A = this chain, B = another copy of it.
Amino acid sequence: MKRLFYALNDPTRRAILDLLRVRSITAGEIAAAFAATTPTISHHLRVLADADLVVAEKQGRYLHYHLQTTVLEEAIQWLLALRRAEAADGPPPS
């Protein structure tokens, strides 16, 4: 989860994931959707790829990025467990 939460911590990267939620798109399309420069977006895509949140697939000169969500499973379970925990220790139900 080390790289996962790091990747999720940046608003640009979360916005990229939101874009990819709709459909796989190329690095250029992603870059065009933001004010940042292309190298900056490329950097963010690398961070997302290092966290296994996205996968790149080369098609000719284009790189199509798409989501990969298996790595989310552990984080989701951890967060759900955390939420459950408060119920056991938190303020008593009214």
Interface residues of A (CB under 8 A from B): 1-2, 5-6, 8-9, 11, 14, 17, 20-24, 66-69, 72-73, 75-76, 78-83, 85-86, 89-90
Set of chain B residues within 8 Å of A72, measured between Cβ atoms = 79, 82-83
Set of chain B residues within 8 Å of A22, measured between Cβ atoms = 85, 89
In the complex, A35 Cα to B1 Cα: how many Å?
Answer: 21
Beyond contacts A2-B11, A73-B83: 5 other A-B pairs, Cβ-Cβ < 8 A, are: A5-B5, A20-B89, A22-B85, A72-B83, A76-B79
In the complex, A72 Cα to B83 Cα: how many Å?
Answer: 7
A69 touching B85 in the complex, CB below 8 Å, given contacts A2-B11, A11-B2, A76-B79: yes
